[in-house]
Each structure stands twice: as C-alpha cells, then as structure tokens.
Amino acid sequence: MASVAPPRPALVDKEHSRSPKDTSKPICKSCYRAVLTKGANTSNLAKHLKDRHPDLYKEFSRALFSRVMHARLCAWIGELPAVWYSSNEAKKLKRAVAVYISMDQVPVYTVEKPRFKQLLEHLNNRYALPSRNFFMYTEIPALYNETKEIVMNRLGRKTFYSCTTDLWTSRATSTFMAVTLQFVTETWDMQSWCLGCIGLNSEHTAECLREALEEMIQEAWKLDMSYMAVTDNASNMSVAAEIAKLVHVRCFAHCLNLAAQWALKLPTVSHLLGRVRSITTFFRKSTITCHVLHEKQKLLGLPEHKLMTDVCTRWNSAHDMLERFVEQQPAIWAALLSAEEQKNAKDLWTLTEADIACAEDVINALKPLKLARHVMSDEKAPTVSIIIAVAGDLEKRYEREMPFLNMTSALDPRFKALPFLEEENRQHVYTKMAMEASQTSLARKVDACALEDLFGDSDFPLLSNLASCTLCIPGTSVAAERVFSTAGDIITAKRRALKPEHVDQLLFLHKNMKL
C-alpha cells in the first residue's frame, strides 16, 4: 500500500508549539498560554492570535490569502486551453510536428501514439496535441501551400527549363505521374525541383498522359509548358510528347538498362548468374556458413565483405554480385571445402575456370555501362551533352535527335571541339548553332558577370542564352525516378490507403522543404 504524505502544517502553527505528551493544548510562543484545540482544528489558534496578538494576526492573514490565491490561480491555469496559454508557441509546435511528419516520412497517426504524446508532454505539458485529422487536413496543407508559393516565386524568374516525367504504380495499385523541372541558375549551377505527382485514374494513353502533364505544369503551377521533355522509352510517352509539341529526348540510362538486360539474357551469361546466385544464397541463408566464410577471409587476408545477390529488376546488381564473387573466390572455395560445410554444399554447382573467365568478361563488359549510368544520373552537371559523345554504337537509335544532341555537345566546354564528328558535319553544327542563337530572344536580362566566367556573356550574349536554354536538359529521367523512390517510403504497408492529394503534398514537402 502506498504511503500517505503527512499533512502540511497550517500557517497558524508557526506561532504555537505542541507538547509531545499533550497535542490538544498548543502553547503560544508569544504569551506562553495554552490554547484548547480539537484534533487538527486551528480555529481557536487563529482566534487567539486575533484577540491577543493583532499584529501577528495581520501577518497570518496576509500569508493565508497568498496561499489560497496561489492555489486558485494554479487550478484556473490548469483549465485553460493550450492555444490561450501561448498561441504563438502552440503554432510553432504544430508546425514543428507537421515538418517532422513530412521530412522524416512518418505516418500521420504518430500524433495519436501514447509514447509520442508522452514525449511532447514532457517537453511542454501546456501543449495539447491536436488530432491526426488536424495535421492531415489543416496543418500539412497549409505548410504545402506556403512552400509551393516560395517555389513558384523562384520558378517565376526562370526563362528556360526542361521537365522529366515518369509513371509509377504503388503497392495499392494506384498510378502516379511525377514531374520535375530542371534549369540553370544565374551562377550556372544545375538545379532540379520536384513539382509533385498527380494520380492517374484513366488509361495510360498518350492523350491522357499529355493532359496530365499540362494539368500539372500549366494549371497547378501556372507555368508555361516546357519545350523539352525527357522520359523513358515507352511509346505512349513518346507520342504524348509529340502531341504536346515538345522536343522529346529518351532517357539514355533506360537505353543502357535495356542493352545490359538483353546481354544478361544470353544463355551463357544467364546460366553463369544462376550458378553464382545459388552459391551466394547458400551463404546468406546460414549464419554458421557466414561465420566460416568470415574466418576464411581473415586467414587469406581478403576484404571482409559480405556476398551479394542480384535483383532481377536491377542489372547493375548482377555486376555487383559477380564482382564481389570474383573478389571473394578464394575464401568461398575454402569455406565450401571445409569439413563442416562439405555435407551442406554437396548440391551446389561448382564453377569451372571457364566460368570464372566468363564472369570476369561480363564484369568488364558491364563496368563501362555502370560508369556511364552513374555519370548520366548526375543532377548537378549538364548530361544531355554527353549522350552523343558516348553513344557511338547507338547512332541509329538516336538518329532523329542527332542534330540537337550535336548542338548540345558543342555548347558544353568539355566537348565543344566535337572530335567525334567529321569536319563537314562539325561545321554544319556550328552553322546551325549560329542560326539558333540569332533566333533566340533575350526576354530577360541575365547576370553578365556570372556568365562571363564560363561563356563570356559580354562578348557572346546570344550564345550564352542558347547555352542556358539547352544545357538545362538532363540526359536521363532519373530525377523523376528518384521521386518515386521517396514515394515508396511514403506509401508503406501501413499507409497504403493515402489519398493521391495527400501523397502529392507529403512528397512535395519532403523534396522541396530543404531547398
């Protein structure tokens, strides 16, 4: 049974003392008279002070009044709503919780979890946390509108920009289209901003995709349609760009992915991957086998890396699996030949010297593709100008875009000499550039000092204007694909019922609040 705290002594007891033998007759400390009381009643003590010691009674009255008012004030404040307590502080706390939900990608129902409420109560017990509906339908939309206004003001000062778009289906079988804008800043830095994603409830025809793209850019963001769009190689995307009268560039990384996946489907390579996959899976499924491999790595002085298994939808994972397998080959064979693992590994395929040589050839073949994919996926540097320089074997695929890509390479200081073209074609590109530059209007004044460092705006204003118009185009649609990597973290198994407009708001805030 919990112990009961002793009662606090009354204020009047300070002027009297009680004998341990007889507590019913307190003695006044001023006149030493005994005052008869009953139990804990102090009325007679107060009357004694009032009759015999008026000055002490006045001090007692003031102290008693102060204690009573303090107790009443505390009780009154405890009944006040949190917003009245401090409206500014309450607004800051609500905004902080909304930012936490958006940036850390936590479910909105977090605000109703007991431990989260307990945490906020410890931080500020005067704050009454609103419900999840308040954050979903009031605070997060308000934060979204404020952030969107900031982004719109910044985009309103941009003359040239391009867009990337891609489609994605969530675990709830809802389809979304993501749109990102790329542009060159006044200091010639590449920037990519996410406009958000829009839910598609219709068939993915070219006309529907064109309408969704225009709805996002023109209606939702009040921007002029970009003259350039970068998408994957899907035919409906190509036709949608054509209907919208946009210059269409197919994602170069997607082309590399298709080429690599076709190579991995070759019978020899496919059989090799299957054998290596069975070995890596064998090691990853057993903690004892992993421990044996770890010990062999130490004995042989090899890097203590774990084996990797490929994923069917990521061709670069096959390259990583083979590269790690060849690196750890001595430790793998030593572990499989050990006494404790020979019985378990008897059903595994063994690789011959020809298989190892084939694995090394596949690694050497895929490595340039992986490097090119990594370079083309950069959002901080011009990438469309690299396509024509590294795509010699894909000339037929890019035959229609060849003149435009040649011009973008000539505008990039890294490839302006066009060493991969013959002299006649090179001069044709330079002539085409001069014609394009003369037809490009200078609608807005650009910072001449920043442009002079790279393109010499003071001497070549038209060329600089043309460069800012073309070099903002990415060579891949990776920016839009990265948007859906974030969307996958938002639409989890516990949040698969999120409405498209809420997904758009949370995705936009996560991508743009850090800008």
Decide if pLDDT at 2 tops 60. Answer: no
- Write down all domains in the chain, each with its CATH number in brackets: 11-78 (no CATH), 82-148 (no CATH), 156-251+477-512 (3.30.420.10), 258-375 (no CATH), 399-470 (no CATH)
Q: How many residues does the chain have?
A: 515
pTM: 0.67
What's the average model confidence in pLDDT over 411-420? 74
Predicted pLDDT at 136: 93
pLDDT recorded at residue 465: 73
Residues 6+ apart with CB under 8 A from 60: 11, 12, 15, 46, 49
Residue 396 banded pLDDT, cuts 50, 70, 90: very low
Alpha-carbon Rg for the chain in angstroms: 37
Higher pLDDT, 63 or 438: 63
pLDDT digit string, tens, across residues 319-374: 999 999 999 999 998 888 876 666 666 666 678 888 899 999 999 888 888 888 88
Residue 168 confidence (pLDDT) above 80: yes
Round the average pLDDT of the chain to a whole number and report it: 79
328 against 403, higher pLDDT: 328
**Res 444: pLDDT:** 41
Q: How confident is the model at residue 510 (pLDDT cuts 50, 70, 90)?
A: very high
Q: What is the pLDDT of residue 326?
A: 94
**Residue range 466-486: average pLDDT?**
83
List pLDDT tens digits, range 34-63.
776 666 666 777 777 777 778 777 777 777
Q: What CA–CA distances, in Å, run from 343 to 347, 394, 404, 426, 508?
A: 9, 50, 62, 66, 55
| DSSP for residue 185 | -
pLDDT band at residue 195, thresholds of 50, 70 and 90?
very high
Separation between Cα atoms, residue 78 and residue 194, nearest integer Å: 45
Token couple for 261: 């996946």
Q: What is the pLDDT of residue 397?
A: 42
- Burial label, 143 (beta-carbon count in 10 A; 0-12, 13-18, 19+): buried
pLDDT band at residue 83, thresholds of 50, 70 and 90?
Answer: very low
pLDDT of residue 114: 92
- Judged by average pLDDT, the poorest of 7-11, 262-266, 453-457 is 7-11
Tens of pLDDT along 106-118?
A: 999 999 999 999 9
Cβ atoms of residues 162 and 472 within 8 Å: yes
pLDDT tens digits along 86-102: 578 888 889 999 999 99
From the CB of residue 4, how many other CB atoms can be counted at a distance below 10 Å?
6
Q: How far is 182 from 87, CA to CA, in rounded Å? A: 40
